[in-house]
Structure 1
Amino acid sequence: MLNTPIKPMLLQPAPELPTGDNYSWTIKYDGHRALLHYKDGRIRIYTRHKNEVTQKYLEFEFIKLPVQNCILDGEMICFDNDKDVPVPCFDSLMTRFQASNPTKINDLMQELPVQFVAFDLLFLNDKSLLNEPYYKRLSLLNKHIPNQNNLSVAPVYENGATLFNRVIDLDLEGVVARDNNKPYYLDSRPQNVIFKTKNYQYSTVSISGIRKEKFGWIMKEDNKYRGILEFVPPDERKAFYHITKQLIIDEDKDFIYLDPLIKCEVKYQCLSKNGYMRSASFQKFIV
């Protein structure tokens, strides 16, 4: 298990906050999932798809933990310091993640330092903790893993509603609820074990074009380009297709451009640094 790529437990989407007093709550950090393996002073980092990315995050070479070995489940994040309150920035993290040149990576270590936020402990000192309940794994995590540069343990909260309201105020991604009494299930999305509730945004956009090669509608909001809308149900695609000929104003090899008379409501995660709506999905046409 140690220093072997493994697939973590995935989160069950929950449109509403789960109820009950058997949950521990954490912020859902906007980054990428990572499993950090530590053995005899050396760290190796894997994505949830079992790809090793240790060389992308060279700052972790200097981390020393007061344990013989362990596996931490967590999120790799990068803070956006342009805002009044530093918050995780997915765009900045992707800049780090996509860098492959060692010189570029070293430069980005100074410009865009990363942080690994641990929220679970799967293995400790030659012993698997997968069958232990979450409250015990969490206790061991807080006992054995100290906060330090580039690595911290996620704060845990008891009141999910209060935390979610704070997440909305700070425009963060969402919250995660974990059942304190459940074990850890590798490579699965178990029911009623770990939930994610996202802080989605809603907006009305105009459909100003159609991408040709791969389906997508051009979205504009107050005449500002907001990206490509790809997640549209088949019936709505067909209904819109029947009226597009009346709206065409121009065309090139990639797009058919439309008079933006038709509007729809979209749900999205947040705006990227360049103002695009992340993970936008169609909700309904606006009449």
Structure 2
Amino acid sequence: MFISPMLLETAPAPFSDPRYIFEPKIDGHRLIFSQQNGIVRLYTRHNNDCTRQYPEIASAQFPHDVVLNGEIACVDPLTGVSDSESVMSRFQAKKSDMITQLTGRLPVTFVVFDVLSYKGKDLRKELLIQRKEILAGLSLPNANFGVIPFIESAGEALFTQIQARKMEGVVGKRKDSAYYSRRHSAWQKIINWTYADVFITGYRKAEFGWLAAVQTDKCAKIRPAGIIELGANPTHMKAFYGVVKPLITGEDRDFVYVEPRIRARVKMRNWTKKGLLRSPVFTEFII
């Protein structure tokens, strides 16, 4: 049984509030675990069946039927932090032999943070704190399952710890919230952004996108670092296109290339293993 997940709004800054609980934000992908009549199915947030990709989760059996909401994580044993690229390697594997190989090499953990149905009862109208009590009482079927910890009230203190560990962020949830299968302000995320200064080396001809590059050494060499697709408003775009024409050096079917004279600051989730900006968001030009 698929249940559309409750999605997060974005808080402008870390906050503390006695009406909320606060959890670490796991860097993976959302998963709905459904066990109905003893049959387990796994779904992404967009209702894509991913049961085959995670045999260590799909093979689990609870004593009673249950629908759980959580995050698939692939935890680095050295840092204790989930590695999103490893998660994507698992998710994108489709062939049986590759799935078997990756299950041994990159085992996943299903980090559960909510229970939506249990023993045939729909729990979505129950208060979050009551659903948490039910979740805490479940016996987990194997070592690939975990329940996310939470604290009450002290969101800012938790965010400080998350920053120190270089984790993705914090989620604040109203204790008295029901479960809404849509984006709702009762659940809010605070992202632990990383910042970088980049050069803009080109722009996409079709939909918006600025090519970004970063300096690699003291000799001022630069290398490609990805595409900025978010954050620039009409004022930023007007300023950019108003000065970029004399800097054009060439073009191809998709991009116009420019001299690396325009600099910008971006915020991002982190650096990928290939040295690219992950989900960069433009914040300002650097003059």
In the superposition, the TM-score normalised over structure 2's length comes to 0.91
Q: Which deviates more, 173-182 or 252-261?
A: 252-261
CA distance in 2, matches of 1:18, 1:169: 17
Residue from 187, 196, 199 that aligns with 2:192: 199
Q: What 5-or-longer segments of structure 2 have no aligned partner? A: 216-221
Residue from 166, 169, 172 that aligns with 2:167: 172
Q: Report how many residues are paired.
A: 279
Tell me the residue number matched to 1:245.
Answer: 245
SS state of the match for residue 183, structure 2?
coil
Tell me the residue number matched to 1:36.
Answer: 33
Residue from 211, 236, 243 that aligns with 1:218: 211
CA distance in 1, matches of 2:234, 2:141: 48
Please list the CA deviations of residues 67-105 of structure 1 after superposition, one character each: whole Å capped at 9, or x if unmatched: 311110101111234xx3131111111111111111111
| Residue 40 (structure 1) shift | 4.4
Counterparts of 1:28-177 in structure 2, within 5 Å, are 28-65=25-62, 67-81=63-77, 84-146=78-140, 148-158=142-152, 159-177=154-172
SS state of the match for residue 271, structure 1?
coil
Letter in 2 for 1:165: T
Tell me the residue number matched to 1:21.
Answer: 18
Tell me the residue number matched to 1:274.
Answer: 274
| Residue 114 (structure 1) shift | 1.2
CA distance in 2, matches of 1:177, 1:150: 25
Tell me the residue number matched to 2:219.
Answer: none
Q: Is the 8 A contact 1:131 1:184 kept in 2?
A: yes
Letter in 1 for 2:74: C
Task: Give identity over the alignment, percent.
Answer: 37
Q: Is the 8 A contact 2:34 2:68 kept in 1?
A: yes
CA distance in 2, matches of 1:30, 1:151: 16
| Residue 213 (structure 1) shift | 4.2
SS state of the match for residue 276, structure 2?
coil
Q: What 5-or-longer segments of structure 1 have no aligned partner? A: none
Q: Is the 8 A contact 1:42 1:61 kept in 2?
A: no
CA distance in 1, matches of 2:255, 2:8: 36
Distance change in 2, residues 1:237/1:154 (3 Å):
same
